[in-house]
C-alpha cells in the first residue's frame, strides 16, 4: 500500500518485539513501514535484525552525550530526518525527557511487561511475583511525561504460575508481547490514517480525543 506511515523504532537489546514489527510490516496491507531503527547500545542484537531486513539503523550512544536532553535531541533529529511520524519503543532502556515526549504528543507507543497501572518501571515481573498476584501480563500504551502512565491501547492478561521466577514469567509474557505489539500498532496507525487520509502527517488537534475513543 502506498500510504504507509513511517515509524521509527527505538531499541536497546535483543529486539524480539522489533522482529515482530518487522515481520508484520512485510505484509502488503500493513499500514506502517519501519523507516529507521535507533539503538543507544552499539552491541544490541536488534540492530542485526534490522540490517537483515534492509532497514536503516543508527547508533546513538547515550554515553557520548553530556545530558539526557542532548541525547534526546539527537534522536529527534534522526527520526525527523527520515520522515518518521510515530515512534515505537521496543525494549528501549532509557527514560525519555519530558521535553522530547511533549514534542511527539500521542505519537509514541511503548510495550510494558505488566498490567498497567500496576508494577511500573523496571523489574515489573519481579514486582508482580513479590506482590503475590495471580495475574500479570503486558500493556501497550501511549507514552507521556509520566513514567508508564499514558493511555492504554491494549493489554493481555497472563497467569502467574506456582513456582514462577522473574525469568520464566518474563519469557511467557514476551511471547504475548510479540503477538500483540504489531496488532496495536496497526490499530493506532489505521485510525490515524483514517483521520487524515490525504496526508502522512498527524495533527494532534485531530487525534487526541478521537483516537482514544476506539479503545
Q: Which residues are catalytic?
A: 112
Nine-digit cell string for 120: 511500573
As a whole number of angstroms, the distance between CA 111 and CA 86 comes to 14
Count of helices and strands (H, E) across the chain: 7, 7
Q: CB–CB of 90/18 below 8 Å?
A: yes
- Exposure of 101 in the CB half-sphere (CA atoms within 13 A): 18
* 1: three-class secondary structure by DSSP: coil
Residue 45: strand, helix, or coil: coil
Cα distance between residue 95 and residue 201, in whole Å: 25
For 9, counting Cβ atoms within 10 Å of its Cβ (0-12 exposed, 13-18 middle, 19+ buried), the class is: buried
Grid coordinates of 66:
553530556
Amino acid at each position: 500500500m502506498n500510504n504507509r506511515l513511517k515509524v521509527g523504532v527505538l531499541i536497546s537489546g535483543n529486539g524480539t518485539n522489533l522482529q515482530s514489527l518487522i515481520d508484520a510490516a512485510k505484509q502488503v496491507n500493513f499500514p506502517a513501514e519501519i523507516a529507521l531503527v535507533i539503538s543507544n547500545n552499539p552491541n544490541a542484537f536488534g540492530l542485526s535484525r534490522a540490517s537483515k531486513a534492509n532497514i536503516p539503523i543508527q547508533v546513538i550512544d547515550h554515553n557520548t552525550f553530556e545530558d539526557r536532553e542532548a541525547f534526546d535531541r539527537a534522536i529527534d533529529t534522526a527520526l525527523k530526518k527520515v520522515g518518521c511520524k510515530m515512534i515505537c519503543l521496543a525494549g528501549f532502556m532509557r527514560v525519555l525527557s519530558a521535553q522530547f515526549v511533549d514534542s511527539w504528543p500521542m505519537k509514541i507507543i511503548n510495550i510494558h511487561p505488566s498490567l498497567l497501572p500496576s508494577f511500573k518501571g523496571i523489574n515489573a515481573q519481579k514486582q508482580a511475583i513479590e506482590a503475590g498476584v495471580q495475574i500479570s501480563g503486558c500493556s501497550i500504551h501511549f507514552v507521556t511525561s509520566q513514567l508508564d502512565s499514558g493511555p492504554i491501547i491494549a493489554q493481555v492478561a497472563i497467569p502467574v504460575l506456582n513456582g514462577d521466577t522473574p525469568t520464566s514469567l518474563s519469557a511467557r509474557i514476551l511471547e504475548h508481547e510479540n503477538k500483540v505489539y504489531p496488532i496495536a500498532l496497526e490499530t493506532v496507525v489505521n485510525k490515524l490514517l483514517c483521520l487524515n487520509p490525504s496526508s502522512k502527517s498527524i495533527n494532534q488537534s485531530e487525534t487526541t480525543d478521537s483516537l482514544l475513543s476506539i479503545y
